[in-house]
Structure 1
């Protein structure tokens, strides 16, 4: 795996966490109202060429094709608007990977990789890969994948979702890795000729106006459809899938935004859940402004952990022997690069304080690499970029996907599900004030937030769902040091819906399904109802500057390379 792919695997979030909650005041009984019949229309599964499988990163093509051959593919017809069940209908794409031990089958386990807007169509195959710590799930469960409405093989509408400010407006959500920086530089502020570290209030107002117009244009592409892209409606679609499968109850496994979809389904359809595990838990609060503030705080806290780690290896990095010295040195380095951006002849764009900030916001598995980048930038004399800096920030052309690649995520669904549920402030003044406050509170990483609300000007109504304590079995796995899904949200969600908290002692988004020492508890719970513990270690912190932790290497090497689980959502 090359460096860029490694970074995408270990630093990009699996999901942008659709915490902007969701949809609908309709009662759970809506799924029983007249409308399309809840039956699955099975059909032949897609076939993928070698070129497509190569682009998706499939290593064992023979195994993949053999697994596809035993997988069932189909669609379920559902109402577009559950308040008008006899009106316009749409189709939701479904897959089923039948249990291999049918004699001891436990039922159907629906899976969701996050987003919102991520495709779960191939997730049953991803979870079942040889050597994957979740492979045993397919022994006793039919694994049920699906593309949420608006995504992949389901009915969808595409628009220029998010507009020119979309990348920045998602702030930390889209910029956890250097790969995210490349996306930022390719559009958004950089496309307007403005460095993220030097945004003035006038720049921000222009960005805000463009975001408002882009959101209005997107919503008007098909307002009747886009207005019904909500987490609540995805949950209702999921219950139609349950009915179509002939299941009295459905088990569920979700990550990131999937950790919001699960509790919403559980609240809308009490008594229909057998067992549910959600990882990297979303907050129950639908406010995007509070969501971004929580992420900014968690990112700064994790940076302090990185500073303490770097202080242990001052002989290597030279930023100080105490966490306070390292933090002060990096704050000064960021200010220096803002005032005097470095230009290297072999990089497309100048390197400013924003690169310092994003290097300081890496998860622990990448700390040796990030610290080396920071040290090289401090000592760089030019004219060419230092070797590690060039590896990380060098542009490189991205190969366009071949024909037939399945959609891994849909930006229109992402934006619509966010904004149709966003109950937070969307005005410019509030966002600008929060941005300025973050710059003061977090002198190194605060610049990673942006002064433009992603839902500014979104013209469609906001719907709300009240999460409920409905009883039943539920495990909520939160990562103590994670910045994508702040750990405190796990307790907040437990207060809202109940269940048991399972603590992962790492900072890796979604690692409970991929790190063997954690996944064994996920599998045990779904198999028996008892995880056998209240937590796991997760991905360990590197023990030295030259170490790629074994667990981290396994995570990078075994993480599914196809489908939405690796789409950086």
Structure 2
């Protein structure tokens, strides 16, 4: 069927938009025109009696309203990232994105459970991360302790959050996106999703293809991938990024460890930990590996990573750790709804851990999929949206962006996601870092041109 005919056929099925929002000024230094509101959604759509949630929404009105294209919803990833905060601090404001602010209302929102939305996911940080716990258990006793730790952490989150904790999966969040669309008064919306935001966007497009105008999925997550496979692929990608950093650092005068054995320094910190004044204690190797991983996200942060590794005080690495972030509870809670642990017991976990160490002999102590999925071993709530295909049929062309040296979302994930979306276009980055928006002027140019024109790059497009 002709695409235009297909879209027109779907239009009568679209819920009539409602103009129910009352906006209030919520300016920031970066975005003085920001406006904020809330959208009410049911916590459990199958059981409305469970109550409602309030989704925090922020909008930056188009600077050129005469040539406005529509609303561009943005999600910075996570899971657990604040989209409303992302919009209000200019998260999309990179060199080359000016026309997006001119032609679109840029709309960010905090997915259900995320900081400014209510009920908010609330967990005790000390119960989520125990410095003495072996996150790679190899004996029955260690495995039992690991399971019990995660169960207790989940029960703590449930007690503090309430029933919402069992409904923070991506499918539920995608239906909230449609509620936002309707409340904005839009027949269709555009989307710019980064990292986990690509999964949320893809799930929305799968469920509501006729309500999509234009969509960029940058740093793609392929939710159809089996968890063990994803663990191994991501571990290999993280190791590749660390090796590329090490090679650059050894040979570049910009690096504080120039001419030294960078990997030996990294291995020593990850194996033995180091004192961090900011923590008032010795940081664990897991914390330091996680902190180093965070610096690999941006190619521009490589010199900073070199300084952090060279420093006698490990505070900079420790404070950059995922475990130190205030959104770690939301990260784990949402993750367990979408990426449940695949393990049947200690032998199974030990075998998978050995594979992770094989492909990531240096960086194995922290990779996101291991932290996310292994951390769900023993979680007390069932996964509402475990790995599965979310094929997209009937949407306009969608742009998927993947990086050959992305430490967090390997290129095979982008290829897999693009293959599940009819008529999609895949843009491949050959540079470093996580997402094109923050690492590749070439990718930014392609993304912006597509969002403004609606025309995707040609087949096999590459940013070198």
TM-score range, shorter-chain basis? 0.7 to 0.9
Higher-Rg structure is: 1
Please state how far the C-alpha of 1:303 moved relative to its aligned partner: 3.0
Please state how far the C-alpha of 1:152 moved relative to its aligned partner: 3.1
Call closer, same or farther: CA 1:349–1:427 in 2, change over 3 Å.
Answer: farther
Q: Of residues 532, 535, 553 in structure 1, which corresponds to 2:462?
A: 535
1:64 correspondence with 2:31: yes
**Contact (CA 8 Å) 1:357, 1:444: kept in 2 or not?**
no
Q: TM-score under structure 2 normalisation?
A: 0.78
Aligned counterpart, 1:101: 64
Q: Which has the higher contact order (CA 8 A, sep 6+)?
A: 1
**Contact (CA 8 Å) 1:281, 1:489: kept in 2 or not?**
yes
Q: Structure 2: how far apart are the matches of 1:410 and 1:373?
A: 23
1:486 correspondence with 2:404: no
**Contact (CA 8 Å) 2:206, 2:393: kept in 1 or not?**
yes
Q: Of residues 224, 244, 259 in structure 1, which corresponds to 2:198?
A: 259
Q: TM-score under structure 1 normalisation?
A: 0.65
Q: Structure 2: how far apart are the matches of 1:350 and 1:86?
A: 48
Q: Structure 2: how far apart are the matches of 1:334 and 1:81?
A: 46
Q: Structure 1: how far apart are the matches of 2:186 and 2:312?
A: 53
Describe the superposition over 1:114-151 as per-residue Cα deviations: whole angstroms up to 9, x where unpaired: 12221111433444887743232121112222121112
Please state how far the C-alpha of 1:249 moved relative to its aligned partner: 1.0
Call closer, same or farther: CA 1:128–1:153 in 2, change over 3 Å.
Answer: closer
Aligned counterpart, 2:24: 44
Q: Of residues 470, 473, 478 in structure 1, which corresponds to 2:397?
A: 473
Q: Structure 1: how far apart are the matches of 2:343 and 2:14?
A: 32
Call closer, same or farther: CA 1:162–1:199 in 2, change over 3 Å.
Answer: same
**Structure 1 stretch displaced more, 339-348 or 242-251:** 339-348
**Contact (CA 8 Å) 2:276, 2:313: kept in 1 or not?**
no
Call closer, same or farther: CA 1:107–1:414 in 2, change over 3 Å.
Answer: same
1:457 correspondence with 2:424: no
Describe the superposition over 1:88-107 as per-residue Cα deviations: whole angstroms up to 9, x where unpaired: 23222223322222222211
Aligned counterpart, 1:231: 170
Aligned counterpart, 1:444: 362
**Contact (CA 8 Å) 1:128, 1:135: kept in 2 or not?**
no
Q: Structure 1: how far apart are the matches of 2:54 and 2:213?
A: 25
**Contact (CA 8 Å) 1:157, 1:412: kept in 2 or not?**
no
Aligned pairs (5 A) from 1:292-311: 292-309=231-248
Q: Of residues 43, 48, 69 in structure 2, which corresponds to 1:80?
A: 43
Describe the superposition over 1:436-455 as per-residue Cα deviations: whole angstroms up to 9, x where unpaired: 33334432222335688111
What secondary structure sits across from 2:200 in the alignment? helix
Q: Structure 1: how far apart are the matches of 2:187 and 2:271?
A: 63
Q: Structure 1: how far apart are the matches of 2:67 and 2:277?
A: 63
Q: Unmatched 5+ residue regions in structure 2?
A: 1-11
Aligned counterpart, 2:9: none
Please state how far the C-alpha of 1:208 moved relative to its aligned partner: 3.2
Aligned pairs (5 A) from 1:211-226: 211-221=150-160, 224-226=163-165
Q: Structure 1: how far apart are the matches of 2:316 and 2:197?
A: 33
